[in-house]
Structure formats: structure tokens, C-alpha cells
A and B are shown apart, each in its own frame.
Chain A
Amino acid sequence: MFATLSDRLADTFKNLRGKGRLSEADIDATAREIRIALLEADVALPVVKEFVGAVKERARSEEVSGALNPAQQIIKIVHEELVTILGGETRRLRYAKSGPTVIMLAGLQGAGKTTLAAKLARWLKDQDRTPMLVAADLQRPNAVQQLQVNGERVGVPVFAPEPGNGAGDPVEVARASIEEAKRKLHDVVIIDTAGRLGVDETLMQQAADIRDAVQPDEVLFVVDAMIGQDAVTTAQAFLDGVGYDGVVLTKLDGDARGGAALSIRSITGKPVMFASSGEKMTDFDLFHPDRMASRILDMGDMLTLIEQA
């Protein structure tokens, strides 16, 4: 539907092949196209402004190679900048030095936390860990059952002492789960929590209480790749409200560009660690910044062209 950035730039630069240094007007025209492409990819506006500024700077200062079409040159700069932001300092899960490693999930309603919990458990099991899942969403109707079914699917035990649907205290469940894990010799505990809004102070406080009760080694913020401009507000609200160490992007099997990855990374500095890409328990991967960069601006083809140039 949207013209890709490659198309747009190719159009802007129709007459510029081999021209060498770009004029200020060329750079402005380019910047406009990049801005539109990023906004259509749902990159948050403040991040777009900063990003476009940085690209302009580089486009001005770099001699545009005669071998390349200026459009391609710009695409290359944009791609490099994206990868730098998305990738910068990636890291692996931190495991506890002693006792079980505690991973807590948090995010908006419907983001994909419960599904991700089971996928993560399965992935850890494949690495010879002995994870346990914890049903600490006692609010969403049948969230406990959902986790139990998913736990069964991946062959990981689920600690679910409370039935949920409004009954039980999630902070207590989380606290008790650590003792349970020690008793049963699980080396990783994954705590599923209820979905909550950034603006919901009560529920945000509850998340902070769960965190304080279990002292997690990792809090992961789970976010839907389809999210739009609200990504920054919400990411910041969760950072302030509960805090997190890493981000998981879900529903990447869709056709959303996923500009949130860039927004959240630049605003919070927290790395995107995992990618969730389907409803099957195996649809899970480490996050690949280069793939994400190409996806955000739909640059797959253009990159191949540049490599051939």
C-alpha cells in the first residue's frame, strides 16, 4: 500500500545518478521522504525528528560515492543508523549467581505475555534449564488456565496456587513461587502478570509490588509490534512504574513495520532481546537488529541492490 522508502527515494533522485555531493535541497527532499516513511512505519514522532536530523548530518558530511546512486547511498546511511540504534549493546539473559533466575513479564493487555512466557520456557528448556511458569495474572478471565494449557504444551510445570478470575493475590503467588522453585529445584522462574495500562496507577503499583516481592533478575517489557505512536508513552510509563531490563517484540509474523522497536530503544535505551512471531510455541527467536532495520523501512530489495553496486 505505502510506497516503500526505496521507491520514494528513487523517485526523488531520478536525475541525480553520479552527481557526487548532494545539494542542500536534495538533502531536504530526502529528509522529508525518510520522515514520512518512518512515520508510516509507526516510529514515534520525537524519535523520527532526531533520527532524520542525524541522517541529514551524515548525508551532508559524506561524499556521495560516484559508483552509487545517491538514493542508494542515503538508504545505506539510514540502514546503518537504524542498526546502530536497534543493535547497540545487545545482551543475553542474565542468570542469577545463586538460586533461581527470576524473569518477570509486564506489558499492556493482549500484548502477548502469556504466550511469550511459555515460548521462553520452552526455549530455556532446550538449553538444559529447568524452568517453572508462574500464574500471577489472577485478573483476566481464565488467564491461569491459558498459562496451564501452554505450559502443558511445552512440558513445563506451572505454579498456579490460585484460581484467578478475581480470586487470589498476585503478589503472594509471586512470592510463594520462589520458595516453590527452590523446593522443586527449578533454576528459572518465569512470572506471567496481568495486562495493565501505563495510566493505571493501581495496577502499575501492583506490578511494582510483585517486582519487590521477587527481586527479578530480568523484567521484560512485552510489546505488540503493531503499536503506534503510543509506544513511547507506554514504554516510559512502564519504565517509571515497574522498570525493565529488556524488551520483547511480539506478533512480528504480521505485516506491521514495527517502528516501536526503534522508538522504545531510542527513548528508553533498553535493548530489544527477543522476537515473538506466531502462535506456535516455537515461533520465538533472538532479536535481529539488521532484519528489523530492513523491515521498518521495507528495504530488503534496496539492500541487495547496494550490495551489488
Chain B
Amino acid sequence: ARSQGGLGQGLLSLLSRDRLDEDTWEAIEDTLLTADVGVAPTQALVDKLRTRLRVEGGQAPDPRTVLREELVELVGTDLDRRVQVTGADGKPGVVLVVGVNGAGKTTTVGKIARILVAEDLTVTLGAADTFRAAAVDQLATWGERVGVEVVRGPEGGDPASVAFEAVKHGVENGVDTVLVDTAGRLQNKAGLMDELGKIKRVIEKQADVTEVLLVLDATTGQNGLIQARVFSEIVDVTGIVLTKLDGSAKGGIVVQVQRELGVPVKLVGLGEGPDDMAPFEASAFVDALLG
């Protein structure tokens, strides 16, 4: 569970001073930078804020409102954040979960399965991380926890064929959703990224991949943007899951990700348990970021 803090009291109290001096502007900048928003977006935001407050002068709305508005706009509120979990033509929806090592993919698969089961959908998990030690067992444990079937292949086997089998199983059994877990891979490893592309292509011989979720760890710094860019090139990411937001990290990197790639954050991870997942909410995210 996350404490959302007040309406960004820390920073916003600075803004209510009569005159915004240079120290205040620096404090604003610092708050954004220490949330991993990044240099360029921070600069752009501060410039915009300065302009608005100058132009609108006495007419300007409360500075608190202005900053919050600008940030919410940066994170985007009008995006479709639904996760496409069902397919067309009687085929299952296929959700492919990707990301760098240790980001929280397997846990996310388990949590999403839990939500779907609660909505009375039938779910199959595909254990396409055949590489990491005990990764298949970890997913199988999640399968047991939430009561769904797991399709697994031989240890060290071809991940694409496990994914294929899982989706095939889903198609043949009229399952609503197949969630495919993949091995962690760093985006600068060309061989592993090719493998991921292949996993997706092979799945598509059976059914369309309806959603590709990139799992981003909220503690990630500026590298997160590169992750999003490269994974998007390879498998056309349709949504971000921002994990570990229950910690002290703010996850500000998604501001840049959304700004540059337009890929919306759809879900947030708030713990290690099966129910620790929530839809992304721009305003709550911004409040926590400023807090």
C-alpha cells in the first residue's frame, strides 16, 4: 500500500510564496530531477511554468494548480489505459510481458492473472522464461496461487516454442486470455532481443498478440527511456507496467517515456502480493511525485 501524501505539500508550499525567487525555481527543478523526470523534461516544464506565471501575471491561477496541471498533462490523462486481454474471432487475447532482468515480469503476470480470474475469465500462463534458474517454478507457484494453468516446456528449451504451445493450448481450449512470461533481457543484447521478436512472431501463427506490456521498475533512472525505446522497436510495446511504486522511488522516468513514445502506463505494481496491482492514475502519480 502506498501513502500518496497530500497534494504535493513539500513542493507546492514553496510555490505559494509571494515572489518566486531563483532559489524557489531551483527547488522546483530539484524536486523533478530527484524524481527521475530527467533533465530535458524538467527544463521544459520549468520554462513553461515560468512563461505561464509571467504571461498570466495576476490573473494566473494558483501556482500550485499550474504546476500540477502541467505535470498531469505531461503524463497524459486522455490515453486509453485499458489492457486488451481478450481476442477476436473466438481466439484468446494474448498478453506478452517483457522487460529487463528483475523488473517484476513474473510477478506482474501472476497479479494480472489474479485480476482476470476474479473477473471470471479463463487464463493460461506460458512459461517462456526457460533460461533463468527456477523461473518456470516461480511462475508455476503463481499459477497455483491464483488457480490457473501453466504451460511449461523443457528446461533450457526454446522459449518461442513454449510460447507457441501455450497459445495453442489457449486456442484449443477456448481460454479467454493467455499471459506469456518471458526471460529478463537487457535491451543492448541484440541476440536476446532477436529472440524476443521471434517469440512474438511465432505466437502470431496461432493468435494475435493483443497487448505487449513492458515492465519498468520505478527505481530505474534514465536508462528506462532507452529500455522503452528499444523494446518498442522490437515488439511494439502497447503499455507500461510501472512496478515497485511501493518503495521510495517515484518512477518519474515514465514522464519521458510517455512524452517521447506515447506509450501509456497502464498498471502499477505496489507490492509482492497477488493483489498489489492497480490501474495507473495520472493525478495520483503526479501528487506522489511532487510529495
Report which A residues bind B (CB closer than 8 A).
1-2, 36, 39-42, 44-45, 108-112, 114, 139-143, 145-150, 153, 165, 197-199, 224, 226-231, 233-234, 237, 251, 253-257, 259-260, 279
Contacts of A1 in B (CB 8 A): 225-226, 229
Q: Quick one: given A109-B244, A234-B219, are A228 and B272 in contact (CB under 8 Å)?
A: no
Q: Which 10 A-B pairs have the closest CB atoms?
A: A228-B221, A110-B102, A42-B221, A149-B133, A230-B249, A256-B223, A145-B134, A146-B134, A141-B141, A228-B36
A41 to B186, CA, bound (A): 17
The A contact surface, by secondary structure, is loop
Beta-carbon contact of A230 and B39 below 8 Å: no
A279 touches B244 (CB 8 A): no
Q: A255: which of B33, B218, B221, B223 is its contact (CB, 8 Å)?
A: B223
Query: How many of chain B's residues have a CB under 8 angstroms from any CB in A?
Result: 48
Q: Which B residues are in CB contact (< 8 Å) with A147?
A: 133
Cβ of B100 within 8 Å of any chain A Cβ, yes or no, is yes
Inter-chain CA distance A52–B135, complex, in Å, is 44
A45: B residues at CB distance < 8 A: 30, 33-34
With both chains docked as a complex, state the minimum distance between the C-beta of A203 and any C-beta of chain B, in angstroms.
10
B:32-54 near A, CB below 8 Å: 33-36, 38-39
B169 → A minimal CB distance (Å)? 22
Q: For the complex, give the distance between the alpha carbons of A282 and B225 in Å.
A: 29
For B246, list chain A residues within 8 Å (CB). Answer: 197, 199
Q: Which residues of B contact A237 (CB under 8 A)?
A: 248
Q: B100, A145: Cβ atoms under 8 Å?
A: no
| 21 sample A-B contacts, Cβ–Cβ < 8 Å, listed by A number | A108-B219, A109-B272, A110-B104, A139-B272, A142-B137, A146-B133, A146-B134, A146-B135, A148-B134, A149-B133, A149-B134, A153-B133, A165-B141, A197-B244, A228-B224, A229-B35, A230-B247, A230-B249, A234-B249, A251-B102, A255-B187
Nearest-neighbour CB distance to chain B for A161, whole angstroms, equals 18
A109-B244, A141-B138 known; A230+B222 contact, CB < 8 A: no
Q: How far is the CA of A130 from the CA of B246 in the complex (A)?
A: 39
Q: State A191–B104 Cα separation when bound (angstroms).
A: 23
Question: Do residues B219 and A227 form an inter-chain contact, with CB atoms below 8 A?
Answer: yes
Bound: A198/B249 CA distance, A: 10
Whether A234 pairs with B186 at a CB distance below 8 angstroms is: no
Given A230-B219, A256-B221: A251 and B133 interface contact (C-beta under 8 Å) = no
Smallest Cβ distance from B106 to chain A, in angstroms? 8
Best-surrounded residue of A145, A153, A253, A254 (most CB of chain B within 10 A): A254
| Chain B 168-191 per-residue mask, 1 if CB under 8 angstroms from chain A, else 0 | 000000000000000000111100
